[in-house]
């Protein structure tokens, strides 16, 4: 699920880039499950299930709406973490900025269907996380840490905000819940709230080395056969393998293991969660990236910006 600029792969972002109120442009990328033959990944919040569970009421869709037509596009996901503020992905905020220029309003939609929300509240402002010191790029275009806080015009009615939790080393290997309004099927259907399970796999290391369990031959086979954005050159294959890595303790690989779920287009900003009810639901990070195959859309693993101490301080300060 990557985007490429100037013929070089520079990001793995999950938010569709909006072209108009009713269209979007995305690029797909693909891989099999880690260590498995390419193209064998299980599927949709690939691998998840549609949900209207009250536990996930704080998880909503970041949308464009028009007063005459209602919601015209769901482009990201997010989580209410204060009565009138959400956390989402930093790379979603350009669409928030663009909205008034094309005659629509950016808003946060509650409910199980982003196109038919139970509550719709305009977004009035946002604060992006700062870039990483030294411009450590990880998977991002600009070295930014991919989280933002957006403020709503009014408080949500009857929705309990999720708590904010600090992601710690001892949570690696733990299975989390993930949720979002992105693609959940091979026909690119989206806009419905889906949820699933995803194991926190690694918070450090090279992206493809982790995805393919260090098996360069498996990665190479995928790159030349099942990667829609590959240039099909040995030089670029080696560059991808070497360059793209998680920013240590800030970015997490999660999900995509056999029987698990993985985030997909439109799930950007969706949460990494623990909790059994709305009262104790806690978010530990936001979705920003994913990897899949031509045949499976998304399926190998998702990238999450996690709330370590510094990122938690940023979010709390922005609130």
pLDDT for the residue numbered 221: 93
pLDDT above 70 coverage of the chain, percent: 82
Measured from the Cβ of residue 158, the count of other Cβ atoms closer than 10 Å reads 8
What pTM value is reported for the model?
0.85
Mean of pLDDT over the chain: 83
Has residue 88 got a pLDDT over 80?
yes
Measured from the Cβ of residue 76, the count of other Cβ atoms closer than 10 Å reads 34
Has residue 41 got a pLDDT over 90?
no
Q: What is the DSSP string of 84-151?
A: TEEEE-GGGHHHHHHGGGGT-EEEEEESSBTTS-SEEEEEEEEEEPPBPGGG--TT-SSSB-S-EEEE
Of residues 225 and 281, more confidence is placed in 281
Domain assignments of the chain as residue spans, ordered by start: 3-318
Q: How far apart are CA 83 and CA 187, in angstroms?
A: 35
Measured from the Cβ of residue 15, the count of other Cβ atoms closer than 10 Å reads 29
Of residues 57 and 35, more confidence is placed in 57
Has residue 38 got a pLDDT over 50?
no
CATH class of 3-318: mainly beta
pLDDT for the residue numbered 135: 52
Q: What's the pLDDT tens digit per position in 164-194?
A: 999 999 999 999 999 999 988 767 788 999 9
Would you give the DSSP letter of residue 169?
Answer: G
Would you give the DSSP letter of residue 235?
Answer: H
Average pLDDT for 72-98: 96
């Amino acid at each position: 699920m990557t985007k490429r600029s100037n013929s070089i792969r520079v990001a793995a972002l999950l938010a569709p880039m909006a072209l108009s109120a009713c269209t979007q442009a995305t690029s797909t990328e693909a891989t099999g499950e880690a260590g498995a033959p390419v193209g064998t990944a299980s599927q949709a919040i690939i691998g998840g299930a549609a949900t209207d569970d009250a536990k996930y009421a704080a998880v909503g869709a970041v949308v464009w709406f028009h007063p005459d037509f209602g919601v015209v596009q769901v482009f990201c996901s997010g989580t209410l973490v204060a009565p009138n503020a959400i956390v989402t992905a930093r790379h979603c905020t350009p669409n928030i900025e663009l909205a008034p220029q094309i005659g629509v309003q950016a808003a946060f939609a509650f409910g199980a269907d982003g196109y038919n929300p139970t509550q719709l509240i305009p977004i009035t402002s946002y604060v992006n996380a700062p870039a990483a010191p030294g411009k450590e790029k990880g998977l991002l275009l600009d070295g930014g840490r991919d989280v933002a806080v957006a403020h709503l015009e009014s408080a949500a009615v009857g929705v309990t905000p999720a708590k904010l939790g600090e992601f710690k080393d001892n949570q690696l290997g733990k299975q989390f819940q993930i949720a979002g309004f992105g693609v959940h099927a091979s026909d690119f259907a989206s806009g419905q709230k889906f949820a699933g399970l995803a194991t926190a796999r690694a918070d450090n290391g090279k992206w493809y080395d982790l995805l393919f369990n260090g098996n360069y031959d498996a990665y190479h086979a995928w790159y030349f056969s099942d990667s829609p954005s590959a240039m099909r050159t040995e030089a670029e294959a080696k560059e991808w393998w070497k360059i793209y890595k998680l920013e240590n303790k800030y970015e997490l690989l999660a999900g995509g293991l056999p029987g698990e779920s993985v985030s997909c287009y439109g799930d950007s900003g969706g949460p990494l969660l623990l909790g059994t009810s709305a009262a104790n639901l806690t978010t530990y990070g936001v979705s920003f990236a994913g990897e899949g195959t031509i045949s499976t859309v998304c399926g190998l693993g998702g990238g999450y910006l996690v709330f370590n101490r510094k990122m938690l301080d940023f979010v709390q300060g922005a609130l």
